[in-house]
Structure 1
Amino acid sequence: MTNYDRTSTRPGDHYIASLNDGRKVWINDNPVEDVAVHPAFAGPVGVLKTFFNELHDPELKDKVGYVSPVTGEYVHKSFLVPQTKEQLLERKAAFEYWVDETDGLMSRLSESGRSIVTGWYASRAKLAAYDKEFERKITAYYEQARDEHRILVSVVADPQIDRSKEQTELSDPDLALRVVSENEEGIVIRGAKMLGTAAPYAHDILVLPEGRLQEGYEQYANLIIVAANSPGVEIVCRDSFALSPQEGPLSALYDEMDAAVVFDDVFVPWERVLFYRNPEGVYQAALHKKENSLMHHQSVIRLIAKYAFVTATGFSIAEAIGAERFLHVQEKLGELVVQLESLKALLVVAEIEAQPDEFGTWWPKALPLRVAIDAASRAYPRAIEILQLIGAGGFLQVPSADAWANDLLRERIGKYYRGARVDADTKVKLFRLAWDLIGSPAGSRQELYERFFSGDPVRNFAAQYLEYDKQPLLQKIQKRLNSR
């Protein structure tokens, strides 16, 4: 864990320096010596640096930040606990600014994990019913994360080994992350977690068990926050999907790294152990995370920006090749519009129906936000399919980035690669941009990510039915049946 240096004038500059903290990150078969400058992470790390420095920009700091009551310095509004509807909309404006800058292509700009912690902090008195120390511990971490501009990511999924069994039923007990020892200063954990998106360049890792644990599995029932540079933490990355700016204009900037996180006998101090051997406390915290509309509010804002970008790409491709005049293409473009405006409408409903809880915190209505997220798990892959159908074989005919350097090829490209309304240079750039959404490794990863952004979509849709207030609807049918 690093100490925050307040003599550094800009949070983004401090963020870059903070990554040189002895963390152990692997990519390919090599340890990463400097995360901040490694090509696999340079894009998103650079974006985060720019955004964090906006907290010192006179023209932007009030849009994206607010003044910490402890330090008197600007901190990001993802930590703002809204006490009025106006403050809820201030959080929205901060989120919108960042996602508009990235077109929603980065889901781990730090607001998600921060909103989880902010939600727990806002509900700390309620969750303290399951451990009286929770309120003090979450307050201390919330204030530290807020004032030190810490990035927090969460890991829940266990290693995918044998899906026919619960992780705790496998022969090796370490395949589900567990506590192996404890002492007066803290606990030691062992195991691994998957899907640590942005973990290589985060400060802290929030660890929860997967699913609801029953009595007898207390060693797995822990809610903890682990510093990414803790001895024994190993972050094992997938292949980098970042291409050059010419080949992958989106992936070069926005390829958020996914990683497995191995915990090889990692010590965690008691202050970072929010629930310990506490199945009910951990379950209630996980349930709160699932229902945390402050977090889902941010997620839907991002989804709208991303879907708007995909929709704009579809419009641009169709018009570039003169396909927008065909009825079947218009129908597909109209489908993009319907989905985009549906997401916007659900966001508006959630904000209109926002209400304060017993502690004075204003929460957006949860159901419309969950509906939007579940709908997007199917709408986004469909949107990518629509782009594929409109551009069709044109995506496979984009010349290589170096072809323009050859005089003869440049002449050929100018003649045969132009569009109905655009020159060859514009059309090639457009199709290369679209390919980075629909066909590149990073684009394929984006589609898979949105399918499972909120977990198993089958379970999520089933939960919509199981948890829905069905009685008012059933009464309508009963009324008709009773009238005869």
Structure 2
Amino acid sequence: MAVRTGTEYKSGLDDDRSVWLGESRIDVTTDPRLAGSLDGMAGYFDWQTAYADECLIDDPERAGEKMSISLMLPRSKDDLKLRRRGLERLARYSYGMLGRTPDYVNVVLSGHTARRDLWERGDPCHHDRLARFHREVIDGDLSMTHTIVHANIDKGAGDLEGMNSDLTLRVVGRNENGIIVRGGKVLATLGPIADEIYVYPSAPIPSGAEQYALIFSVPVKTKGVTMICRDHYGINASVADAPFSSRFDEQDAFVIFDDVEVPYERLFCEGDLAVYNSITQGVSPGNTLQQTAIRAMVKLEFAYDLCTSIARVSNSDKRPDVAVLLGEVHAYLSITRSVLHAAEDRAHDWGAGAVFPHKDLAVLRCVMPTWMTRVNEIIRALGSHNLLATPSLALFENPEIGDMLRKYLPGANGISAEDRARIMRTAWDFAGSALGSRIELYEMFYLGSQGRARIGDHMVAQRDHEWGQVREFMQKSGILPG
């Protein structure tokens, strides 16, 4: 089995995983609250088969077999173009509203695997293990989540200081099979309904904190792995009434590792800061950001069309103040697309033959959180009270009230009342519903905080370039002596 159907994906979740939602532990395969989410994620697996010519490629190690394009090891610009086409098609399944579809962590893992040179700063056996795991993910077409942020509950202390030092994931023992880990991690989006949980760095850690320097993967069902879910925002409604909330609540979980045994075969880094502190910067700015930029681009395309549709259904699209807002959204889309193309055109070998887009792609981390929040604000402004005065689509079929709705709630310019309702309900679910609000918050911290991203970009700029333009200007202008 190299490519799974949606039914096979759901069957793989029937195990004894420890998932807690609301007041109790649940079975994710039977809990009615998760039914829409499971069907939505199953649809993703069926989608990649329906668009196999874009989403699947020939498996280089298994003659006649196919594999997800997100698991390729990119070795050329042509590989990146091929992967870009596949990732864009996958993003169009949810129009960017699913932030952690399996292709995200697939791209992360493949980038890590492609950069063998980074792992050779430590024991090469760890990369051998990683490559075997990468093969396992291909063969099983596994759905992976990740959890990479330390459980820094006390924001007044360092990530690994004070009470945080006892709360976050670390090594507490070992046996003949592997290491024993204990502690919490944030945030496993998709975690309750994934197959594997991949733990890797989000940021470097200082010398003296080696016990926290861990990279490994274990099945979600592993004994001692516990997932604490937030409230579920998926609702039992028709796709017409809740196009996103009915299918695309991917769930988020705080993960507790309660003396979990990590087999040595699944342990890729333990205490080696030379490896741990180099992996993220050696892969993420180009490789991982290609997937995230593509998803953002697809979402902004949808958002622009949605905003335009709202304006047309209310006959406000020609008003200057509305056109300004529509142009603003389109500008975000155009910049995202341009940055993505430029980074792919400047792709190069990052090491060990791994070809990733240029690291300047990472600038989107600094601006995308603000853009996504602003887009939702614009949708709510354009929709205004109309977002709160929209009936269910099913109500139009009611003989007692249907004609009255068509008379009093039509769209402008001859747009039907039903089409007006479809647009407004889609807009509300995108930017105003419980799930829409969750996604907005998620976008704000999608790749870490915006502040950290900006600090990181500044530090890299100072490290990689000489900035003497001001002094040069002053010297040439006679302000300073030459």
**TM-score past 0.5 threshold:** yes
Given that 2:217 and 2:267 are in contact with CA atoms closer than 8 Å, whether structure 1 keeps it comes out as yes
SS of residue in 1 equivalent to 2:301: helix
Give 3-state SS (helix, strand or coil) of 1:41's partner: helix
What is the match of residue 279 of structure 1?
273
Instruction: Give the corresponding residue for 2:183.
Output: 191
Within the alignment, does 1:329 sit opposite 2:296 as a pair? Answer: no
Matched, 1:350 2:340: no
Superposed, 1:174-253 pairs within 5 Å as 174-208=166-200, 211-243=203-235, 244-245=237-238, 246-253=240-247
Q: Does 1:438 align with 2:434?
A: no
Provide the residue aligned with 1:66 in structure 2. 57
Q: Distance in 2 between matches of 1:56 and 1:164?
A: 48
CA contact (8 A) 2:152 2:164 kept: no
Instruction: Letter of the 1:219 partner, please give it.
Output: Q
CA contact (8 A) 2:152 2:167 kept: no
- The corresponding residue for 1:379 is 371
**Unaligned 5+ runs, structure 1:** 1-5
Does the 8 A contact of 2:152 with 2:158 survive in 1?
A: no
The 3-state SS of whatever aligns with 1:253 is coil
| Conservation of the 8 A alpha-carbon contact between 2:56 and 2:66 | yes
CA offsets, 1:261-287, max 9 Å, x none?
111111110111111122332222233
1:40 and 1:332 map into 2 onto residues whose CA distance is: 37
Q: Distance in 2 between matches of 1:354 and 1:209?
A: 24
Q: Could you say if the C-alpha distance between residues 86 and 176 of structure 1 is closer, same or farther in structure 2, counting changes exceeding 3 Å? A: same
Contact 1:188 1:267 in 2 (8 A): yes
- Of 3, 7, 13 in structure 2, the residue corresponding to residue 19 of structure 1 is 13
For residue 252 of structure 1, report the CA deviation from its aligned partner.
0.9
Alignment pair present for 1:264 and 2:258 = yes
Is it true that 1:77 corresponds to 2:72 in the alignment? no
Code of the aligned partner of 2:266: R
For 1:183 and 1:209, locate their aligned partners in 2 and report how far apart those are by CA, in whole Å. Answer: 24
CA contact (8 A) 1:235 1:260 kept: yes
Find the counterpart in structure 2 of residue 302 from structure 1.
295
1:62 counterpart SS class: helix
Q: Is the 8 A contact 2:214 2:270 kept in 1?
A: yes
Contact preservation (8 Å) 1:41, 1:256: no
Please report how far the alpha carbon of residue 289 of structure 1 lies from its aligned counterpart in structure 2 after TM superposition: 4.6
Q: Decide which of 94, 109, 125 is 1:117's aligned counterpart.
A: 109
Residues 422-456 of structure 1, C-alpha deviations (whole Å, 9 max, x = no match): 12111112111100011100000111111111111
- Which stretch of the first structure deviates more once superposed, 80-89 or 435-444? 80-89
Larger mean CA deviation between 277-286 and 133-142 belongs to 277-286
Amino acid at match of 1:16: K
Instruction: State the alpha-carbon separation in 2 of the partners of residues 370 and 10 from structure 1.
Output: 32
Q: Counterpart of 1:442 in structure 2: which amino acid?
A: L
Deviation per CA, 1:311-353: give whole Å up to 9, x if none.
1110000010011121111111111111111111111101111
Distance, in Å, in 1 between the alignment partners of 2:116 and 2:265 is: 15
Q: How does 1:458-477 map to 2 (within 5 A)?
A: 458-468=451-461, 474-477=467-470
**Percent of pairs identical after alignment?**
27
How does the TM-score come out when normalised to structure 2?
0.92
C-alpha deviation, 1:172, in angstroms: 7.2
Classify 1:13/1:69 alpha carbon distance in 2 versus 1 (closer, same or farther; 3 Å): farther
CA contact (8 A) 1:336 1:383 kept: yes
Unpaired stretches in structure 2, ≥5 consecutive residues: none
Q: 1:469 to 1:194 in 2, by over 3 A?
A: closer
1:31 equivalenced with 2:30 (yes/no): no
